[in-house]
Structure 1
Amino acid sequence: MDPELEKLPKPCLDSKSPLVFFAETIVRYTHPYAVSWKPNIAFFERLGAEGYFALEHTVHLMKEISPEVPIVMDAKRGDLANTAKEYAKYFFQTLKVDALTVNPYMGRDSLIPYLDLGGYLFVLGLTSNPSSSDFQKLRIGSSDLYVYEEVSDQMARLAESYPGQLGLVVGGTHPSEIESLRDRHPELCFLIPGFGAQGGDLEAIIKASGKEALINSSRGITMSTVAENFGEVSKKKSEEVHLLMNQLFS
């Protein structure tokens, strides 16, 4: 759910609350095919109080229409303990989302407050953007180990103390690395953006990741048209992805 204001369909822009109109339409049309929701908080935050109202309204609507479908809040938070604790309370106690994306750059003590509240974390490992290699693919010392591999290893160790609460973000534009990480950590769930608008190949992703993964398509479904029937188009796109995934897994 990445509602970039300037690119929303005209019916949304003509409404009193464009993000609410957009989110309600997408959720109502696509929920039969959703195995998870992933709102990106940045597209809401830019509007200040109005945006936070739209975000919270969207989360409540998701829970009302599809209470069994988990919500992954894409916020990529990463800060020290006291600040992390406040973020954790907002996302897991106030909003009551099921999972959160976080940045592990400041170390494991920036993650513990979320885990202590019972939250599920998808930790940034190897992201789908072109310059992810600037840091994530640096070698550690004289070893053959990449930074993203060390992150994955540390998260697997941390998961021993917090079982069922830690996963890894791995970009769908890196299928060979996904396969390597899956061999390395068969128990971790992967959140895999990059399929659809970012160019990741679904068949390659599925082959590499296996079933213990959430493969994310956002703009390829939700922003596929600016026509008035954008809800119906998004439903059709969702159905196409659903059928393709079933075919590839069969």
Structure 2
Amino acid sequence: MNHRSEFIQKFNLRRDSLQSLLCIGLDPELDKLPKVSLESKAPLVHFTETIIRYTHSYATAWKPNVAFFERLGAEGYFALEHMVQVMKEVSPDVPIVMDAKRGDLANTSKEYAKYFFQTLQVDALTVNPYMGRDSLVPYLDLGGYIFVLGLTSNPSSSDFQKQKLVGKDIFLYEEVSDQMARLGEEYPNQVGLVVGGTHPSEIQSLRKRHPEMYFLIPGFGAQGGDLNSIVQTSGKRSLINSSRGITLSTLDENFGQVAKKKAEEVHLQMNQLFL
């Protein structure tokens, strides 16, 4: 994949056809899976395939989290790669954002980039900018799309992200967003920002600061972010993610149908709010 990322084009088409911004996250936490999945030969395969087949009609993007697969070693990687194949077969027009939050030296980043963008051929990847520009460029040189951690939804995000920069009267997360906007000028349609849905006022100020940038917004649903305020402040260039609130809402055997119903509910809410 040496051509430039097609992620934006893919997402825009899907967003406009569904009139929605719903990104469905797959975080198959083993201890919270339904019994019917746990009793199958390959629990993660059973669970993720069921969720994909039931909810794909409502997904503007998928966001699987690598950690829940890696914990199982080879079996987990098999499940991860199988899931990506199922996503591509069932919903080829839905972009896949792999949530891996990688951030390492340039030569290491290059290997991560090859795995995610060449071997798996996903559309986008979450990355950590803490090591700076040269740790991000390998993903972009390979033609991938990256969502860079800006202001995250977890309670301790303020430990570093909300530190003020000396001589610049802005927060660290704002400096990250500004630098990513500049990187995005060099690599058009390849750089977005992760902004937690638990920070609606900051989403609003970041949106004013960067009207063209695409935001990946976790933290809606189980983490407590309010959908109405997120949609109003973030605008159409946003992927609003719900994971557990859709996929892990029951332990019953009919968890696929329940997930479909939950996804449909959010979908209809988004339809009403669509800008």
TM-score with structure 2 length normalisation?
A: 0.90
One-letter amino acid of the structure 1 residue matched with residue 185 of structure 2: E
SS at 1:100 equivalent: strand
Displacement after TM superposition at 1:128 (Å): 0.2
Q: 1:60 aligns with which of 79, 82, 85?
A: 85
3-state DSSP of counterpart to 1:56: helix
Distance 1:219 1:154 in 2: 32
Give me the whole-angstrom Cα distance separating, in 2, the residues matched to 1:164 and 1:111: 14
Q: For residue 41 of structure 1, what is the aligned residue in structure 2?
A: 66
Matched, 1:246 2:250: no
1:227 pairs with 2:246: no
Partner-residue secondary structure (3-state), 2:242: coil
Task: Please state how far the C-alpha of 1:142 moved relative to its aligned partner.
Answer: 3.4
Give the counterpart letter for 2:86 in structure 1.
Answer: L
Query: SS at the partner of 2:146?
Result: strand
Match of 1:213 in 2: 238
Q: How far off is 1:143 after superposition?
A: 2.7
1:156 aligns with 2:156: no
Tell me what 2:124 maps to. Answer: 99
Deviations 1:147-190 (A, max 9, x none): 00000000000111100000000000000000000000001000
Residue of structure 2 equivalent to 1:12: 37
1:202-239 CA distances to partner (integer Å, 9 max, x unpaired)?
A: 00100110010000000000000000000000000000
| Partner Cα separation in structure 2 for residue 84 and residue 209 of structure 1 | 29
CA distances 1:56-90 after superposition (whole Å, capped 9, x unpaired): 00000000000000000000000011000000000
Counterpart of 1:84?
109
Matched residue, 1:204: 229
Show the counterpart of 2:94.
69
* Distance in 2, Cα, partners of 1:100 & 1:157: 19
Task: Tell me the distance in 1 between the aligned counterparts of 2:146 and 2:273.
Answer: 27
**1:122-137 counterparts in 2 under 5 A?**
122-137=147-162
Query: Residue 37 of structure 1 aligns to a residue in which SS?
Result: strand
Task: Give the aligned partner of residue 175 of structure 1.
Answer: 200
- Aligned-pair CA distance for 1:145: 0.5
State the partner residue of 1:195: 220
Q: CA deviation at 1:4?
A: 0.4
Q: Specify which structure has the bigger relative contact order, considering alpha-carbon pairs within 8 angstroms and separated by 6 or more residues.
A: 2
The reply to whether residue 121 of structure 1 matches residue 146 of structure 2 is yes
Tell me, in whole angstroms, the C-alpha distance in 2 between the residues paired with 1:161 and 1:43. Answer: 34
Q: Which amino acid aligns with 1:40?
A: N
Aligned to 1:108: 133
Q: Percent identity?
A: 78
Paired residue secondary structure (2:166) = coil
Report runs of 4+ in structure 1 exceeding 6 Å deviation: none
Correspondence for 1:166: 191
2:171 aligned with 1:146, yes or no?
A: yes
Q: Partners of 2:267 and 2:274 in 1: how far apart?
A: 11
Q: Where do 5+ consecutive residues of structure 1 fail to align?
A: none
